[in-house]
A and B are shown apart, each in its own frame.
Chain A
Amino acid sequence: MRETDDCIRRPVFFRKLLNAVMWLLSAAGVALAVFCMLWILWSVIRNGAGVIGLDFLFCGSKPPGEPDNGVGNAILGTVFITLTAVVIGVPAAFAGGVGLAIYGQNSRIGNLIRFSVNVMMGLPSILAGVFVYALLVVTTGHRSGFAGSLSLAIILFPVVMRTTEDMILMVPAAVHESSLALGMTRARSVLCIVCRSIKGGLATGILLAVARTAGETAPLLFTALWSDAWPWHYFTQPTANLPVLINEYTTNSPSEEMHAMGWGAAFLITITLLLMNLALRFICREKKHA
């Protein structure tokens, strides 16, 4: 008996070894990700933090060498462009995501829409730029900040729509059913009960999408481009913005001063996103223990 027992036993050693190897691999993956992030953060801080000051934040851009040189016009331009993109893209995408989640399950049209949105999500951002260039810049004869917003909205749209749908589908069916069972309409149940129980995740998802598009450069090269002026002619003229500024100042200029300002702008974008993420986490904490 003892011999057959020994026969069917497998040594524990190899299973433990495999476990250790898997643990090491995933730990190494995590370490790599954290290392990359810290490295990027460090270079941005080292090169960019130094130029931040009142002039830098509140003065408009000027040719190198002039006093009171800043990126204030680009900051404001980016705010205009991004906010308008959010206003155009997010409500429509949210509504689409809700609709897809309620009416688009197991339906042919729903699947078609989902497929299109997935394709749209995979499109290189430069295509959004060229598209709006053909649609708005060529036809009106001028680049504008608004054209930039439109191209960013196109990038934003599919991401927000899929995020919304995915988040809604994560809510257990029982929550939706129990609100319907109380006599609510489907729309009320989804908007007031289902979306309320995922508001933190939804807000985070939408903010991440906004943050990613706020840094998109390629579409803005075709649309908003760049200007040393303040963005008061947002609808009709090229408009200053941070991504194009970083591109121009760091790679297209011989001046050391402008290189430093490019890093400063990169620092600004990074810190803003970081703060926005932290703020959102703070606001949307799950208040389970109220």
Chain B
Amino acid sequence: MLETLLSPKEKLKIKIAARNLSFFYGDHQALFDNNLEIPENRITAVIGPSGCGKSTHLRIYNRIFELYREQRAEGEVVIDGVNILDRNVDVLELRRKVGMIFQRPTPFPMSVFDNVAYGMRLHFKLRKSEIAERVESALRGASLWEEVKDKLNGSGLALSGGQQQRLCIARTIAAEPDILLLDEPTSAIDPVATLKIEELLLSLRKRFTIVIVTHNMQQASRISDFTAFFYKGRIVEHDTTTKIFTNPSNKKTEEYITGRFG
């Protein structure tokens, strides 16, 4: 369905496809038949008013919702041809492939270096020198290296909020995922640090498929290639970001992006 929206030159591979995805918190249904295709190596923004199911939708992609017994997903999420909701899919392997960054930065209570090395060591058998190299390249990838190279042994908790969030991104990309899920990654961070993270995401686009949930519509329009608008658990409109923000097809979308509600 997305292909039709794109210019013929752009042949995009679909990385994630949600099909008839519904979600329940106990008896309460939060998502209704979501269908969404997310192209590879692009940034897809997920917008919508509070409580519309954006984060809920995102949290299905790495099955993090399974931590809570009463939460349940129905339908399919196909990543690289495999329905990851299938019981046979190994969730630890899935989560290496599909990294997630949360709203509040959550550095681990250890040094900056170990924060990045920890997850990497879980997944890869590496020699010491390789670990050091990869930590550096992950920190460079997260545009944090220059700021922390002299305090790698200092606590990750001692960094500023924006640095902590980039540390979390470094930690995630060190596990070499294909996909980055970001759940309002800048809502707890000051505007200057937010811009840094946005630039970072644009630079990461070449390597990863990025899905970002955001409350901030300027952010969505600044960095994303595609935008999906959620309302009351349904996907109202999904299109190129330019189209959504200049000429939305749906009235609800238009009302939301012009700030009439939300």
Contact = CB atoms under 8 A, between A and B. Distances in A.
Interface of A: 106-107, 172, 174-186, 188, 193, 196-197, 199, 287-290
A193 B153 CA distance: 17
B108 A179 contact: yes
B171 interface: yes
B168 A183 contact: no
B96 A183 contact: yes
A196 B110 CA distance: 9
Given A177-B102, A184-B119, 4 more contacts: A106-B69, A177-B100, A182-B119, A197-B109
Given A177-B64, A287-B155, A288-B158, A183 B109 contact: no
Contacts, number: 75
B34 interface: no
Interface in B139-162: 153-155, 157-158
B109 A290 contact: no
Given A182-B122, A197-B108, A288 B155 contact: yes
Residue from A172, A174, A176 whose CB has the most chain B CB atoms within 10 Å: A174
Contacts of A106: 69-70
Query: Top 8 A-B pairs ranked by shortest CB distance?
Result: A182-B119, A181-B100, A197-B109, A178-B106, A290-B155, A183-B95, A183-B96, A290-B154
A174 B188 CA distance: 13
B224 to A, nearest CB: 21
A181 B155 contact: no
Interface size class of B (residues with CB under 8 A): 20 to 34
Contacts of A180: 64, 67, 95
B120 to A, nearest CB: 9
A287 B101 CA distance: 25
Given A177-B64, A290-B154, A290-B155, A182 B102 contact: no
Contact of A182 (B155, B158, B172): B172
B100 A178 contact: yes
Contacts of B106: 172, 174-175, 177-178
A174 B62 CA distance: 15
Contact of B95 (A182, A188, A193, A197): A182
A130 B95 CA distance: 52
A171 to B, nearest CB: 10
Contacts of B104: 172, 174
B4 to A, nearest CB: 34
Given A183-B96, A183-B122, A176 B67 contact: yes
B123 A288 contact: no
Interface in B156-180: 157-158, 168, 171-172, 175
Nearest to B154: A290
Nearest to A287: B155
B173 to A, nearest CB: 11
A193 B104 CA distance: 16
Contacts of B103: 174
A186 B95 CA distance: 13
A184 B110 contact: no
A181 B99 contact: yes
Nearest to A105: B69
Contact of A183 (B70, B93, B102): B93
Nearest to A195: B109
Interface in B75-113: 92-93, 95-96, 99-104, 106, 108-111
A174 B102 CA distance: 7
Given A106-B70, A288-B158, A289-B158, A181 B95 contact: yes
Interface string B30-55: 00000000000000000000000000
Of B104, B106, B122, the most chain A CB neighbours within 10 A belong to B106
Contact of B62 (A181, A289, A290): A181
Nearest to A200: B109
